[in-house]
Structure 1
Amino acid sequence: MTTMNISLPDTLKMFVDEQVNERGYGTSSEYVRELIRRDQHRQQLRTLLMEGATSGPTAPVDGDYFESLRTRVRNAAK
């Protein structure tokens, strides 16, 4: 694991310390790692949403569509 030092104003340091204590993190590093992971997931979700928004039109999602999915899953399980 690599070490990274960051500088924070006193108000942010106090906020981080409060979050560590109130939310059950063992250290401020655990809290920061969790924030970074959440940001990574948010960016991945945004990428997927943008890909979906810019993709072409698809077949309608209706009862027939879901029934065909159920059939495919049943057949794959056999």
Structure 2
Amino acid sequence: MGISIWQLLIVLGIVILLFGTKKLRNIGSDLGGAIRGFKKSMNDEDTKPADQDSLEDKDQTAAYRAPAEEKPRDKTTG
């Protein structure tokens, strides 16, 4: 009931005749690049929230400390 190897070979032959090997090679490389980009973005999303949280904590700490570090100017010394 399934597709036999001969049927797959016939379909592959027809596809090669229609598109040509150069076009199929380009499509394959484009598809591979798209998959790599998708995987990279998924891995970047996994690491970004942790990095963004630490950056936000540093920003909040810096914003909190900034007013305390400012020293009032002494009007007598100029």
Higher relative contact order (CA 8 A, sep 6+): 1
Q: TM-score, normalising length from structure 1?
A: 0.42
- Would you tell me which structure has more helix in proportion to its own residues? 2
Which structure has the larger Rg? 2
Q: TM-score, normalising length from structure 2?
A: 0.42
